[in-house]
Each structure stands twice: as C-alpha cells, then as structure tokens.
Amino acid sequence: MSRIAYVNGIYAPHREAAVHIEDRGYQFADGVYEVCEVRDGRLVDETRHLDRLARSLSELRMAWPVSRPALCVILREVVARNRVRDGLVYFQVTRGVARRDFMFPAHQRSSLVVTARSADRAALDTAAGQGIAVVTRPDNRWERVDIKTVGLLPNVLAKQAAKEAGAKEAWFVDANGYVTEGGSSNAWIIVGNTIQTRPAETGILRGVTRTTLLDLLAREGLKLKERPFKVGEALKADEAFITSATTIVTPVVKIDGKPVGSGKPGPVALKLRKAFHNIAELA
C-alpha cells in the first residue's frame, strides 16, 4: 500500500510530496511540529498536542495554516488514508514560502505537512520491556526549548552520538550538572517511593506524555517531586525512565555504560507504561 502525505491542501503519494525550496522551515528551521501517538486508530492526547501547537505558534507569532477543527479532520484523514491502527501522526507548521529574508514575510501563509506511519506495537512493547541505555551529553541548545521547533540539530547530534555508543537516547546535562531532558523525550528517576522529574518551567519541553503521566501519578496516589536531578543521583536511583509520544514510558537501565538500580527495567516504570492509556485521551 502506498503512503500518502498531506502538503498544503493536497493529499499526495509520500514519495512525491514536497515543499518549495524557499519554505522557511527548510531555510531557517522556522517551524514547529507535533508527534501524536495513534492507538487502535485513535489519536492519543490530541487535545494536549493541539494546545501545545497553539502555544508554539503563538510564541513564534506564526499563523495557523488551517483552523484547529480543520487540522483535526486532516490528521484523521492522513491516519485513515495510510491505514494506521498503531503508529504515529506527524504534523509540521512552518512560516511558509517567501524570498529568503530573515524578517517575517508580509504574508501569513503558513505551510502544513502531515504524515503518518504504522508501528509494530507488540515489538515496541517487547523492546521497552528490555529497557534502554542512555548516554549523557552537554546541553548546548538554545533557551527556548519549551517551543517545539523543528530546529533540532543539537538533538540530532546527541542522538547520533547515543547510537554510536550503542545507546537509544541521549540525556542532555546543563551547566550545573543537572539532567534537562532526552534528545526526544523527558527524563525521570524513582528514588524509594518518590518519582522525580525536572520542573517544566526551564530547560525542557513540557511533554504531553509527561503531563498525562502526572495525572496518572496523582490518580494512583504516587509521590511526585518536580525537582531537577544530577547524573549521579540517577545512577543511585532505584529506577529511571523516559517519556514521549513514541516511547510512552520506557525504562532506562544504563547511563553512560553504568547500570541504574538493578540494571533491569524497574517494576514501577513498567506498571506506569501499562496503565498509561487508561488515563490518556483517546479521540
């Protein structure tokens, strides 16, 4: 079955779908995006993803490419046309096509690209059950990582370094030695009965999975501390894990080659992964 992408009003075969060479996303990384999990053909936490997109657009004074209700329709159409039951839908908005000039163009014609792809849910669950290794890298990103922009070069380099070290994710570490977040995920540890993660006010993207997990912790009566942690604390923790729309909750068993806790996926992280979709919005 051929894949279909949505580009500025057109549903096109994936291999032919293209944007203009002077799209500002291509020239300046002047764009924002979202990745939403698709589960049983439904969108997971769509409302929160669209709320965050609204915030990203507003922070960058970028116009909606289509109305929010229209975007909801397009997302579903792309999911349906690609027959995705389990997988993800990716949507990206850029400041549109204009002659290369740093200042905002006079027009307000944002570009919209939507793609969707299937994933093997059982294989991902099995892989998550093994846990992942992470490596640490200095956080060399800009200060506005709260905006979900397509400017991801530091993340690309950090995740490539992780891959070359045999790990699945990189954890960024700030100048004070505190873990900020992963290259494409939020970072957590569990010490005793307390689950700990960095507050979302500085240094990280406010992950939608993170926000929904906070709801789950409250519902389960689990103790939460929103406080930054150092790499040494993570190594001494009982468990560590990451969250994102693509990894849901995935245990971290190794940091820079050293084991976390027992060196095996932690029971609490695995339990949270199992319970996550009981609380997430499925629309």
State the catalytic residue, choosing from 148, 159, 168, 254.
148
User: What DSSP line would sit under 165-231, residue for residue?
Assistant: TT-SEEEEE-TTSBEEEESSSEEEEEETTEEEE--TTSSS---HHHHHHHHHHHHHT-EEEE---BH
One residue of 186, 196, 197, 250 binding ligand PDD per CB under 6 A: 186
94 binds ligand PDD (CB under 6 A): no
CA 136 – CA 12 distance, rounded (Å): 40
35 binds ligand PDD (CB under 6 A): yes
Which secondary structure element, helix H or strand E, spans residue 245, and what is its range? Answer: none
The distance of closest approach from Cβ of residue 222 to ligand PDD in the complex, given in angstroms and rounded to an integer, is 18
Residue closer to ligand PDD (CB basis): 95 or 159: 159
Scan residues 219-248 and list those touching ligand PDD (CB under 6 A): 243-246
Size of interface with ligand PDD, in residues (CB under 6 A): 14
Output the CA torsion sign for 252, 148, 173, 211.
negative
The distance of closest approach from Cβ of residue 184 to ligand PDD in the complex, given in angstroms and rounded to an integer, is 4
Q: Which stretch binds ligand PDD (CB under 6 A): 73-81, 95-103, 177-185, 259-267?
A: 177-185
Residue 260 is classified by DSSP as P
- Dihedral of CA atoms 51, 53, 55, 58 in degrees, nearest 10, equals -130
Residue closer to ligand PDD (CB basis): 104 or 127: 127
CA 274 – CA 282 distance, rounded (Å): 15
One residue of 82, 94, 184, 197 binding ligand PDD per CB under 6 A: 184
One residue of 94, 110, 185, 197 binding ligand PDD per CB under 6 A: 185
One residue of 92, 94, 136, 209 binding ligand PDD per CB under 6 A: 209
Residue closer to ligand PDD (CB basis): 97 or 252: 252
Q: Is 163 a catalytic residue?
A: no
Query: Three-state SS for 251?
Result: strand
Residue closer to ligand PDD (CB basis): 20 or 282: 282
Can you read off the two tokens belonging to residue 235?
């190594």
One residue of 205, 249, 252, 270 binding ligand PDD per CB under 6 A: 205
Output the CA torsion sign for 130, 136, 231, 225.
negative
210 binds ligand PDD (CB under 6 A): yes
207 binds ligand PDD (CB under 6 A): yes
The distance of closest approach from Cβ of residue 211 to ligand PDD in the complex, given in angstroms and rounded to an integer, is 8
Residue 232 is classified by DSSP as H
Q: Given phi > 0 = left and psi -120 to 50 = alpha, else beta, which region is 248?
A: left
The distance of closest approach from Cβ of residue 41 to ligand PDD in the complex, given in angstroms and rounded to an integer, is 19
CA 36 – CA 149 distance, rounded (Å): 15
Query: Residues interacting with ligand PDD, by CB under 6 A?
Result: 35, 181, 184-186, 205, 207-210, 243-246
Catalytic positions: 148
